Structure 1
Amino acid sequence: MLVNPKLKDVLNDQLCEAVLSLQSVDECYQFFEDICTVSELKALSQRLEVARMLRAGHTYEEVVERTGASTATISRVKRCLNYGADGYDTVLKRLEAKQK
């Protein structure tokens, strides 16, 4: 799939390269602690869990109960799962394969 041309620029390329350069979970924690606020990092983590749960067939009510996400956040993630760039699916498939 092609990258959204509205997002593609030198600064976003640099950010993606920076993330790809990380070599451990600890390095990820260090980087994300520096680049994100605690709230931003928790929001990113929450969205990934929402995507995982929706992909596994959980209801909105179950997702809200487990994650505390708003129904607006859940709807946005669901829209990305259905009509997005398949980023969630790529990551979730790789995480599932790693757990097996």
Structure 2
Amino acid sequence: MKEKLEIKNLDDLYEAVLCLETVEECRLFFKDLCTIPELKALSQRFQVAKMLTKDHVYSDIVNETGASTATISRVNRSLSYDGSGGYNIVFDRLDKKEDK
């Protein structure tokens, strides 16, 4: 029963994020929701993913982002083994947005 509650609460969070319409609204919401270290960790993982999709090597990613090789490996696994994962959805949509 507890697992279903956790999933529901997570879905509630996802629904809340989907209600946000601007970068400023996202900034305000995530500032309220997360601590500064949590935001830095999320941002770092996203930057790592961006760099990996542009074929940067681990040493360059470590130097530019400060991420550990363990974090880079984890992000790389998400990108490599799940081609239909969330990172790929976001990057595809950001690419389409840039093309417009």
Query: Match for 1:22: what amino acid?
Result: L
Q: 1:26 — aligned with what?
A: 24
- RMSD (Å), alpha carbons: 1.8
Q: Distance in 1 between matches of 2:67 and 2:36?
A: 16
Pairwise CA distance, 1:64: 0.9
The yes-or-no answer on 1:39 pairing with 2:37 is yes
Pairwise CA distance, 1:24: 0.4
Number of paired residues?
95
Identity %, equivalent residues? 54
Flag the structure with higher helix content.
2
The TM-score, its normalising length taken from structure 2, stands at 0.87
Following superposition, which runs of at least 4 residues in structure 1 exceed 6 angstroms of deviation? Answer: none
- Greater Rg by CA: 2
Query: Match for 1:96: what amino acid?
Result: D
Residue pairs, 1:67-86, within 5 angstroms:
67-84=65-82, 86=85
Q: Distance in 2 between matches of 1:35 and 1:99?
A: 28
Describe the superposition over 1:34-83 as per-residue Cα deviations: whole angstroms up to 9, x where unpaired: 00001101111111110111011110011111111111100110011112
The yes-or-no answer on 1:88 pairing with 2:90 is no
Q: Distance in 1 between matches of 2:11 and 2:55?
A: 33
1 or 2 for the larger relative contact order (CA 8 Å, sep ≥6)? 1
Q: Distance in 2 between matches of 1:59 and 1:30?
A: 33
Pairwise CA distance, 1:99: 2.1
Gaps (5+ residues) in structure 2?
A: none
The TM-score, its normalising length taken from structure 1, stands at 0.87
